[in-house]
Amino acid sequence: PDLQKQEERGELLQPLIFVLLVLCSVLLYFKVSLMDPGFVTPEEEEGEGEGQGVVIPQIPGDIKLRRCGYCLVKQPMRAKHCQLCQHCVRRYDHHCPWLENCVGERNHPLFIVYLSVQFVVLLWGGHIAWSGLYFEQSWDWLQHNIFLLMSFLLIFIFTIVVLLLLVSHLYLISCNTTTWEFMSPHRISYLRHSELENPFDQGIILNLWRFFC
């Protein structure tokens, strides 16, 4: 009866949405961590270099695609070999130790969705923890609320980390660059010899459209 009354008053809707968001976050975590981030296979070598000069005219046409010294496949432009995954990854962004997988061409958009859902869950969880705190300057209060206080501080730290990750990735996506290209342009041949600092940038709207759509 009590549950039925709570349901009629809509008091069960918010906890249900929170649980669904947590479940969605967990499913996205496993999806992003277990899926192929865009591994380059030997069967895909043919025709990799075709059309590069048309798509990105600012990059000199004499830059040849190199063959990876580890897995011996011909690397497409913007690919990089990950020594942890033992594969070359298309549009390599970074290797995420939390996911134990690379973030690349295929799973990067889902990685952004995962960070967004995780950020909402952490904000909601932090609000719940904060609302349960009532501060008193006494040792008894600290003993009874230490777990809730530590939970709030932990959630706060994770929220800041996830927010910084999300903002930095959205900025790089809006510029059509990757973490690897942003951090090490001097080590990448097609960026060293390019006339522009970022030859892939086609404007914020088009960059976001091509990434997510």
Active site residues: 96
DSSP-assigned beta bridge partners for residue 101: 96
Query: Do you know the residue count of the chain?
Result: 213
The token duo for 25 is: 């976050």
∠ at Cα 63 (102, 190), nearest 5°?
A: 45
DSSP 130-172: HHT----SSHHHHHHHHHHHHHHHHHHHHHHHHHHHHHHHHHH
Distance of CA 164 to the CA centre of its chain: 11
Q: Give the separation between CA 126 and CA 143, rounded to whole angstroms.
A: 20
Cα separation of 124 and 146, whole Å? 20
For the chain, strand residue ranges (E) read 80-82, 87-89, 94-96, 101-103
